Amino acid sequence: MSDKEYRIPAHVAIIMDGNGRWAKKRGLPRTMGHAQGAKVVEQILEDADHMGIRYLTVYAFSTENWARPDSEVTALMNLLRTYMKTSLAKCAKNNVRIRVIGDKTRLDEDLQKAIAHLEEETKNNTGIGFQIAINYGARDEMRRGIQDLARKVADGTLKPEDIDEAAISGSLDTAGIPDPDLLIRTCGEERISNFLLWQIAYSELYFTDKAWPDFDKEELEKAIDAFNHRERRYGGLVS
């Protein structure tokens, strides 16, 4: 690595896990873990931006998370609601462009409206792209993308033989965003849990035991250091 330049990944994706365990360890309700986790996301977004990361994608609520008790789902949705309603000034100041990925149609109407407003108001910002995955599942995203492509084939605007990898990428919620270079998962779990399955084909994976509410700039730097020790070969030979 010594003769190579230190690389900052252009796109970092994070599976923010361990809010519940963090709270339990302190004798607090799980929702306190989520509240602390929400604060950490805001700080990490700023840190990532200062470090020169161009895109940050975070997994906030999966298509599987509806299986949690209603009270926890409501608390998570309320945190997201608050974020959408309060972050506009900060996004404007920091030039952040927001995109929510996932199926938004299942979210409460006021939340959908707040998301649409925030996306619209920040769409011309030229700083870091911040993707928040809400009611997101990679299989569901692919299902919706395939349906869109199939509709185009059915109405004659797309030929089946023109469905190449770029067309598939373009049919996903992350259309136009480069694939993640680095995927981080916190709190010791080493699985993907239905996150960005198409997009992480060649991402470097990094797992840490730190629970998300304890994650900080130093932890992000550690992950990027580890990334710098990886040899990305893409099926070729070591250069």
Residues that are catalytic? 17, 65
Q: How far is the CB of 187 from ligand IPE (least distance, A)?
A: 6
Query: What is each CA distance from 167 to 97, 143, 149, 158, 197, in whole angstroms?
Result: 23, 14, 8, 10, 16
Contact indicator for 211, 185 with CB cutoff of 8 Å? no
d(CA 8, CA 10): 6
Q: Report how far Cα 65 is from the mean position of its chain's Cα atoms.
A: 15
- Contacts with Mg ion: how many residues (CB under 5 A)? 1
**Contact between 63 and ligand IPE (CB under 6 A)?**
no
Site for Mg ion in 4-43 (CB under 5 A): 17
Q: How far is the CB of 44 from ligand IPE (least distance, A)?
A: 14
Contact indicator for 17, 185 with CB cutoff of 8 Å? yes
The single residue among 31, 36, 57, 62 that binds ligand IPE, judged by CB under 6 A, is: 62
The total of other beta-carbon atoms located within 10 Å of residue 168's CB is: 14
Question: What are the structure tokens assigned to 179, written together?
Answer: 């694939």
The single residue among 21, 54, 104, 230 that binds ligand IPE, judged by CB under 6 A, is: 21
d(CA 74, CA 58): 19
Q: How far is the CB of 21 from Mg ion (least distance, A)?
A: 8
**Contact between 76 and ligand IPE (CB under 6 A)?**
yes
The single residue among 9, 12, 13, 18 that binds ligand IPE, judged by CB under 6 A, is: 18
Interacting partner of 61 out of Mg ion, ligand IPE, none (Cβ under 5 to 8 A depending on kind) = ligand IPE
d(CA 164, CA 57): 24
Interface positions with Mg ion (CB under 5 A): 17
Interface positions with ligand IPE (CB under 6 A): 15-21, 59-62, 65, 76, 187, 189, 191, 193, 212
